[in-house]
Amino acid sequence: MAGEVNIKRLAQELNISIATVSKALNDSYEISLKTKNRVLSLAKELNYTPNPAASNLRSNKTKTIAVIVPDVANNFFSLAIKGIEEIARKYGHHVLIYQTHEDAEMEKSFTNSLLNGRVDGILTSVSSNEYNSDYYRDLVKKVPLVFFDRVYESLDAFKITTDDYQISFKATEHFIECGCQNIAFLYGLGKLPAGTARFTGYKDALIAHGINFREELVLDYSEDEEVNFANIKTLFKKHKPDALFSSIEEFIIPAYMACAELKFSIPGDVKILSFSNMSSAKLLNPSLTTITQPAFEIGNEAAKCLFKILNKKGMDDDKDIVLKSVLIKRASTGC
Amino acid sequence: MAGEVNIKRLAQELNISIATVSKALNDSYEISLKTKNRVLSLAKELNYTPNPAASNLRSNKTKTIAVIVPDVANNFFSLAIKGIEEIARKYGHHVLIYQTHEDAEMEKSFTNSLLNGRVDGILTSVSSNEYNSDYYRDLVKKVPLVFFDRVYESLDAFKITTDDYQISFKATEHFIECGCQNIAFLYGLGKLPAGTARFTGYKDALIAHGINFREELVLDYSEDEEVNFANIKTLFKKHKPDALFSSIEEFIIPAYMACAELKFSIPGDVKILSFSNMSSAKLLNPSLTTITQPAFEIGNEAAKCLFKILNKKGMDDDKDIVLKSVLIKRASTGC
DNA sequence: TTTAATTACGTAAACGTTTTCGGATAAAAT
DNA sequence: ATTTTATCCGAAAACGTTTACGTAATTAAA
């Protein structure tokens, strides 16, 4: 009984046409204030809410945006999502969240499932396992899309990133100021601009301070945590680095465990810092120096950007927004 | 041009009716294998995907489910969501995620926005700030809904929970076996069954071992982390507990910080354990003994349950599923 | 006073599906 | 030869909105 409250029902009870009701609900200029009030108050009384499917079908608007991230369990992404939601809520949009788990195929499959008008726009942070530039070159023409953090550089699309190069340069200098000379680099996201920028910032800082870059001090990320653990131990034994620059959060656990197992003291024997948004960084033993990205703000900016596109405003704005990360010095670098 | 590929277009190109096309796409028994193949292959060739709005409008099915949680940044919930997604993907459903940030009003507002047919069903873990039993009593009649972890006990609805009472009892016994006598309880989720069950398990274990329950050793959770920090310090100074049983993850950071500031050694001066799904628990200083809930499995079970409802199967199954948590002993309890 | 403009509302088509019902054909049963 | 049944397909309505267009009533301009 009470379930079937739709526009037709409102129209009948008020003795007006459904067109008038619809327009009144959408605050159209064509409708007098008096009838608007009549409609609105009855709608409220009957607890009317518009059917989204019908509305979407007719208007081609879904009031939903999609967020595609590798993993919501990652601190960075969960914060970014929070930033996105804040804006989405402001614009009355729902948020559809997809996790790719770094699987490029799943990423494409998810994205494709959104192209038939399921969402108004997409915010994406691409998977790190494959560089799928061609796919995205097509995609950005088909749907409003904003990249954040993990972007494709060459594309003509809106991109929100951070100052990976500069902050990595600065972090490396921090090591050097603490007296480190053999700074190892734990290399993640190698296929993405963010990864290479972090690496280049590290390398350039070494060179700028007259320290030779040594290929053998670079360790590539493996998805298998055990492998990373083993690799770090090997790195320690073979090359005795006095510092570890971890370019992604995932290296922290195996690095700390390796130090514990090899009885290396942090920061005495080796100093460590890492890109990270872990809230417990300050509780590690010892507390971890981090490069912390403004994750919430990135999500915030990305979402704002998308709604600019959806509302056709500021299309001539700069398509590249770069936010600043911050280096938080703690005990693991010890100075 | 290529954008407007819908059923009508397929029908025209194949010289058959749109009804036939629709039925073929839905693998109806009314359609011959031959025409099914013709339709399917053309659909694939033209990259046809059905318009979800139209489909939803007509069929009253959205192929989406909603997940309502307090916070995706919480390790427990992000894992649970992963478990949900696995099942949703299996059934070809999309997942809409909402964060309430423990705000009961926002929770109601979100939930209400889903009642007009935006989703086929809801998985929810209710906010801890208010006990909104009346609201949910109405709600479960209107929409397929499954509670997980944070439930309303009195309702006739599907609920996935864990053995909070038993595991808390066991954890308290672990303290006692380690020689603790003044075990403080950091009390969270007090308005929810999960919270009270944990508290009761703690209390009953004390009594079972002839230890007096002391009200002054119980500390209620505050949303303000600074307040928790201060309260824990006061607790330490006033009552010198030799153990801290944290019933929620959020107490860990202030507890560790308080110990550090007061120069209390863990587990020497005070032993600590906490409900937690933090992956870095083993890296804390010292590594933290945890009660870890099977978060992924909870999500998994909850989603399975919802799809049972949606497919009208197993409606006579037990509506209460209880999974087992596990006590992982580490250095912070020291024995 | 006539005409033009403005305001307020209604009619009906459209969005892309799904589904009910019925019909045509052919095979099987009588 | 007639009836029944099975198989395959189409016509058309329906889902609940939005919106282009038309029109009557009122007001402003001529």
Residue A208: the pLDDT is 97
Domain-embedded: residue B57: no
Residues near A293 by beta carbon (within 8 Å), at least 6 away in sequence? A76, A149, A162, A275, A277, A323, A325
Q: How far is A80 from chain B (nearest CA, A)?
A: 10
Domain of A281? 164-293
- Taking alpha carbons only, the member of A94, A155, A111, A70 closest to residue A303 is A94
Q: Which of B52, B53, B116 minimises the CB distance to A49?
A: B116
A187 and A245 share one domain: yes
Q: Is residue B187 part of a domain?
A: yes
**Pick among A59, A78, A272, A282 to test the B interface (most B CBs inside 10 A):** A78
A2 lies in a domain? no
Q: Closest to B73 (Cβ–Cβ): which among A79, A99, A118? A: A79
**Which nucleotide in the DNA or RNA is closest to residue B26, CA to C1'?**
C18
Inside any domain, residue B1:
no
Which is it for strands A326-328 and A289-292: parallel, antiparallel or unpaired?
Answer: antiparallel
Same domain, A123 and A237: no
Output the tens digit of pLDDT for each of chain A's 335 residues: 345 899 999 999 999 999 999 999 999 999 999 999 999 999 999 999 999 999 999 999 999 999 999 988 888 999 999 999 999 999 999 999 889 989 999 999 999 999 989 999 999 999 988 888 899 999 999 999 999 999 998 889 999 999 999 999 999 999 999 999 999 999 999 999 999 999 999 999 999 999 999 999 999 999 888 899 999 999 999 999 999 999 999 999 899 989 988 999 999 999 999 999 988 788 787 899 999 999 999 999 999 999 999 988 777 778 899 999 999 999 999 87
Q: Based on the fold, state whether residues B305 and B269 are members of the same structural domain.
A: no
Inter-axis angle of helices A75-90 and A295-310, nearest 10: 40
Q: Are B117 and A51 in contact (CB under 8 A)?
A: yes
What is the arithmetic mean of pLDDT over B129-156? 90
Residue B224: what pLDDT?
87
The share of chain B scoring above pLDDT 70, in percent, equals 99
User: Coil, strand or helix: which one is B196?
Assistant: helix
Say yes or no: A195 and A234 in one domain. Answer: yes
B172 and B289, same domain (yes or no): yes
Tens-digit pLDDT profile for residues B290-309: 999 999 999 999 999 999 99
For residue B53, give the nearest of A50, A57, A280 by CB distance.
A57
Helix axes A193-208, A164-177, angle to 10 degrees: 40
Residues with CB under 7 A from strand D: A 4, 6-8, 18-19, 22-23, 25-26, 30, 48, 50-51, 54-55, 57-59; B 15-20, 23, 29-35, 54, 57-58
d(C-alpha B249, C-alpha B253), whole Å: 8
Q: Within a domain: residue A331?
A: no
Residue A289 and residue A299 in one domain: no
Alpha carbon dihedral A307, B107, A96, A68, in 10-degree steps, equals 90
Q: In total, how many domains does chain A have?
A: 3
Query: Coil, helix or strand for B212?
Result: coil
Quick one: A168 and A289 in the same domain? yes
CB neighbours (10 Å) of residue A11?
A: 19
The predicted-structure confidence for B201-259, as pLDDT tens digits, reads as follows 999 999 999 999 999 999 999 988 889 999 999 999 999 999 999 999 999 989 998 99
Average pLDDT over residues B111-117: 91
Is B198 contained in some domain? yes
**CATH assignment at residue B43:** 1.10.260
Q: What is the mean pLDDT of chain B?
A: 93
A180 with A119, same domain: the answer is: no
| Residues on chain B touching A51 (C-beta within 8 angstroms) | 57, 116-117
Q: In this structure, are A247 and A150 located in the same domain?
A: no
Domain with residue A85: its CATH number is 3.40.50.2300
- Considering only alpha carbons, which residue of chain B is nearest residue A258? B283
Pair (B191, B260) in one structural domain: yes
How far are the Cα atoms of A121, A286, B5, B11 from residue B47, in angstroms, in the given order? 20, 55, 8, 15
With respect to residue A59, please indicate whether it lies within any of the assigned structural domains.
no
CA A244/CA A231 separation, integer angstroms: 13
Q: How far is A14 from chain B (nearest CA, A)?
A: 22
- Distances, alpha carbon A49 to alpha carbons A4, A52, A162, B115, in Å: 11, 9, 41, 8
Whether residue A172 sits in one domain with residue A125: no
A34 and A73 share a domain?
Answer: no
* Mutate which: A259, A280, A290, A330, vs B, most B CBs within 10 A: A280
- DSSP assignment of B295-306 equals HHHHHHHHHHHH
Per-residue confidence band for B68, with pLDDT thresholds at 50, 70 and 90: very high
pLDDT at B321: 95
The predicted pLDDT at position A131 comes to 80
A284/B284 Cβ within 8 A: yes
Among chain B residues, the shortest Cα distance to A94 is held by B96
CB-based burial, B312-321: b 16+ in 10 Å, e otherwise: eeeeeeeeeb
Residue A230 lies in a domain: yes
